[in-house]
Amino acid sequence: MTMRYNMEDEFSITHVKARWVLDSRGNPTVEAEVRTFAGGYGSAIVPSGASTGTHEALELRDGGKRFHGKGVSKAVENVNKIIAPEILGEDSRKQEEIDSKMISLDGTPNKSRLGANAILSVSLAVAHAAADTYGLPLFQYLGGALASTLPVPLMNIINGGKHAGNELKIQEFLIVPVGASSFSEALAIGSEVYHSLRGYLKEKYGVSAINVGDEGGFAPPMSRTREALDALIHAVKNAGYEPGRDVVLALDAAASEFYDEKRGVYAIDGAELTREKLIEFYESLVEEYPIVSIEDPLYEEDFEGFAEVTRSLKIQVVGDDLFVTNVERLRRGIEAGAANALLLKVNQIGTLTEALSAARMALENNYSVIVSHRSGETEDVTISHIAVALNAGQIKTGAPARSERNAKYNELLRIEEYLGGRARYPGIKAFKAYKRTL
């Protein structure tokens, strides 16, 4: 006798389970898995940031002695004992309803009761389970038939700030292989430049200079911004590519980290600069180097300053700590003309629905979207699929080194192969705010 069931039964959630696993820094984080009636399976692991915006959703940690206070047993328990009973039997395709239910269960403005890490692990796992039930890759489930743009990678290959132990104040110095004709070619270029830089740093600064930071970039004993930019230009040329044509540069200043709020100055390169002087400093860098994008160039509450620097630089100005993937802060930025691009980090806001809402708002207002990793990452590849689903055109997921970074790049290689002739690589066109001549 054949059992009959309807379509809704197929997608019904039958299993929700969370556990702790380790991230790339060796700290615990939350992994959730979800199963559906038809055998669909999804899992997701939540990343963790080091340089975090003040307004991010709360990552719930245990405190105490175990794991030096960084345990996530409370968040895991919240999934298994509070969230799971509430969403069992729900239709996994109803992402927005499930995410709303978890937000209501939490009942706080920043998800501090259940933890954004608990909520997000389930939110993403539900999407994976629904996609698997359909037999679709996640990017196609989320983005439909039009999802075909492979993102240009912004690769952090020199680390400063909180990601390194040197004196560089700028947090990330990135290469961007815009001259490639495909994602796979872009990844090859990035790898070649990375290894070229490794040889240069080893020769100039010694073996210790090739130690890598949290995101796979090198952390050489540098103290000045131009010293790092010159090293990138050398590495690009030495790898056989032309700076400004094949490979351009980007910065993540993370300026809140070197801003003295009481005195209103930025301490960088041995000087203390006002907002106006810091903007002039950026202007000089953009004139001297093929820089197409600067992230968080100013303090995270300075919407007025962000508007000024956006008008002044005529390049991509990215809001990360400024927006924290939050539609209310993004709306405020759009109204003020602050920045012209959103850095999308799903764990900043805590659910897939809210992250996608922020992305849609950005795109509808002609802001670019850069889908981003965190410094504490895992083998989870969800962001690779989100980048393609949105046709975002840009992804930031570290150097082409360390398995937790390369997992994302390798998944994009698979997606490009899956798409075949439909795959598109936008190159410099992904930087629609860029108004300068290279």
Q: Count the domains in the chain.
A: 2
Is 65 among the annotated ligand-binding positions?
no
| DSSP run (H or E) holding 42 | strand 41-45
The per-residue pLDDT for 298 is 98
Tokens of 305: 């300053």
Whether residue 215 lies in the annotated active site: yes
Is 316 among the annotated ligand-binding positions?
no
The per-residue pLDDT for 166 is 81
Q: Are residues 262 and 390 in the same domain?
A: yes
In a domain? residue 1:
no
Residue finishing a domain among 135, 170, 203: 135
Q: Are residues 125 and 158 in the same domain?
A: no
pTM of the model: 0.96
Q: Are residues 126 and 177 in the same domain?
A: no
Is 275 among the annotated ligand-binding positions?
no
Whether residue 345 lies in the annotated active site: yes
Is 295 among the annotated ligand-binding positions?
yes
Q: Are residues 219 and 366 in the same domain?
A: yes
Q: At what angle do helices 303-313 and 327-336 cross, to 10 degrees?
A: 50
* Active-site annotation holder among 345, 404, 411, 416: 345
Range of the domain at 335: 152-430
Q: Are residues 105 and 161 in the same domain?
A: no
Q: Are residues 20 and 82 in the same domain?
A: yes
Residue 255: C-alpha distances to residues 53, 229, 311, 371 (Å): 11, 17, 18, 20
Q: Are residues 114 and 170 in the same domain?
A: no
Q: What is the pLDDT along the chain (438 residues), one digit of tens a residue?
A: 344 445 669 999 999 999 999 999 999 999 999 999 999 999 999 999 765 667 899 999 999 999 999 999 999 999 999 999 999 999 999 999 999 999 999 999 999 999 999 999 999 999 999 999 999 999 999 999 999 999 999 999 999 987 677 889 999 999 999 999 999 999 999 999 999 999 999 999 988 889 888 899 999 999 999 999 999 999 999 999 999 999 999 999 999 999 999 999 999 999 999 999 999 999 999 999 999 999 999 999 999 999 999 999 999 999 999 999 999 999 999 999 999 999 999 999 999 999 999 999 999 999 999 999 999 999 999 999 999 999 999 999 999 999 999 999 999 999 999 999 999 999 999 999 887 666
The per-residue pLDDT for 235 is 98
Q: Are residues 186 and 95 in the same domain?
A: no
The per-residue pLDDT for 284 is 98
Q: Are residues 65 and 193 in the same domain?
A: no
Is 394 among the annotated ligand-binding positions?
no
pLDDT digits 0-9 by tens, 244-254? 999 999 999 99
Residue 85 makes CB contacts below 8 A (sequence gap 6+) with none
**Residue 354 region, left (φ>0) first, then alpha (ψ -120 to 50), else beta?**
alpha
Is 373 among the annotated ligand-binding positions?
yes
10 Å CB burial of residue 363 (0-12, 13-18, 19+) is: middle
Is 404 among the annotated ligand-binding positions?
no
Strand-pair partners of 48: 376
The per-residue pLDDT for 3 is 42
CA–centroid distance for 48 within its chain: 11
In a domain? residue 438:
no
Which CATH number fits the domain that encloses residue 191?
3.20.20.120
* Active-site annotation holder among 33, 215, 300, 411: 215
Q: Are residues 271 and 413 in the same domain?
A: yes
Is 208 among the annotated ligand-binding positions?
no
Which CATH number fits the domain that encloses residue 71?
3.30.390.10
